[in-house]
């Protein structure tokens, strides 16, 4: 998929403001770039300043980069405040930040379980509620994107992370029932094996094994994931809410 070219029009998200967590690398970076390419102003956050600054430098004045640990409520508050001060509103929230580790279920300690859920569930809810309360509900519009996992049936050595992402899927549905009256759409994008720096960290043998399991015979790319997210945030996705959209090359079949 080298040379991937997005099919979205360059004004598909014109006039919108997006906040992307984990926006310095991988899927988050690709999503920030695609939202900006389709007309949105973008705020990116993450824990490492160097990749965030690289994204900001690439996008220029239409990008705000804020070093943030979304697990810390006071930093979440500052993130939302700075984004609103700069851009005036938040129309799109992409809850991309996450982290997990491989371990047999019986070896996952309570501390390890809580660490994964703190980032993938608790922090996601804290930021989502803050953005909704400060911008989306008052403005009667918005799109919240959650990132789930595929396969959705469960994953060996990932019981903690699979359970966390299943919670996020359910959250998307619950919020759609409550927040649709405010003009807010909530969608979960369940991604399969995407070729990112994070995936590389599991080692070439494990990555090759995962690639062989995909019916399409290859890994997905961050740019493909980003194009899907940007489409869902655009007018093209205006009737999609409260559901999970799977992008996994057939892995969940």
Model pLDDT for residues 46-78, shown as the tens digit of each residue? 999 999 999 999 999 999 999 999 999 999 999
Residues in the chain: 253
- The DSSP 8-state label assigned to residue 145 in this structure reads E
**CA 8, CA 188: separation in Å to the nearest integer?**
20
For the stretch 106-139, pLDDT in tens is: 999 999 999 999 999 999 999 999 999 999 999 9
pLDDT at 101: 87
Token code pair at residue 139: 């403005």
Token code pair at residue 129: 């509620």
Average pLDDT over residues 34-44: 98
**CA 167, CA 154: separation in Å to the nearest integer?**
12
pLDDT at 201: 78
Q: Are 231 and 185 in contact (CB under 8 A)?
A: no
Q: Name the more confident of 199 and 111.
A: 111
Does the structure show a pLDDT above 90 at 245? yes
CA-derived radius of gyration, the chain: 17
Cβ-based neighbours of 191, under 8 Å, separated by 6 or more: 27, 147, 148, 149, 150, 220, 225, 247, 248
Sheet with 92-95, strands from edge to edge, namely 63-67, 41-46, 17-21, 92-95, 142-149, 184-191, 243-247
Q: Among 160, 224, 133, 225, which Cα is nearest to 188's?
A: 225
What rounded mean pLDDT belongs to the chain? 95
Average pLDDT over residues 219-235: 97
Does the structure show a pLDDT above 70 at 16? yes
Q: How confident is the model at residue 99 (pLDDT cuts 50, 70, 90)?
A: confident
Which domains are present in the chain? Answer: 17-247 (3.40.50.720)
pTM, two decimal places: 0.95
Does the structure show a pLDDT above 60 at 1? no
**CA 189, CA 199: separation in Å to the nearest integer?**
18
């Amino acid at each position: 998929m080298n040379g991937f070219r997005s099919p979205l029009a360059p004004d598909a998200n014109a006039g919108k403001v997006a906040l992307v967590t984990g926006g310095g690398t991988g899927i988050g970076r690709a999503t920030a770039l695609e939202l900006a390419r389709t007309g949105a102003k973008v705020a990116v956050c993450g824990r490492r300043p160097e990749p965030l600054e690289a994204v900001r430098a690439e996008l220029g004045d239409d990008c705000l980069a804020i070093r943030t640990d979304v697990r810390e409520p006071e930093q979440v508050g500052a993130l939302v405040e700075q984004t609103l001060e700069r851009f005036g509103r938040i129309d799109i929230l992409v809850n991309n930040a996450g982290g997990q580790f491989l371990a047999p279920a019986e070896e996952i300690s309570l501390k390890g379980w809580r660490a994964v859920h703190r980032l993938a569930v608790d922090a996601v809810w804290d930021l989502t509620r803050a953005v909704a309360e400060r911008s989306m509900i008052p403005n009667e519009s918005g799109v919240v994107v959650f990132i789930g996992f595929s396969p959705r049936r469960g994953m060996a050595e990932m019981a903690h992370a699979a359970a966390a992402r299943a919670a996020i899927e359910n959250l998307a549905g619950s919020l759609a029932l409550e927040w649709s009256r405010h003009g807010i759409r909530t969608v979960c994008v369940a991604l399969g094996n995407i070729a990112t720096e994070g995936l590389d960290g599991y080692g070439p043998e494990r990555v090759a094994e995962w690639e062989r399991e995909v019916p399409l015979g290859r890994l997905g790319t961050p740019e493909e994931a980003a194009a899907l997210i940007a489409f869902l945030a655009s007018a093209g996705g205006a009737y999609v809410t409260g559901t999970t959209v799977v992008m996994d090359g057939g892995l969940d079949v």
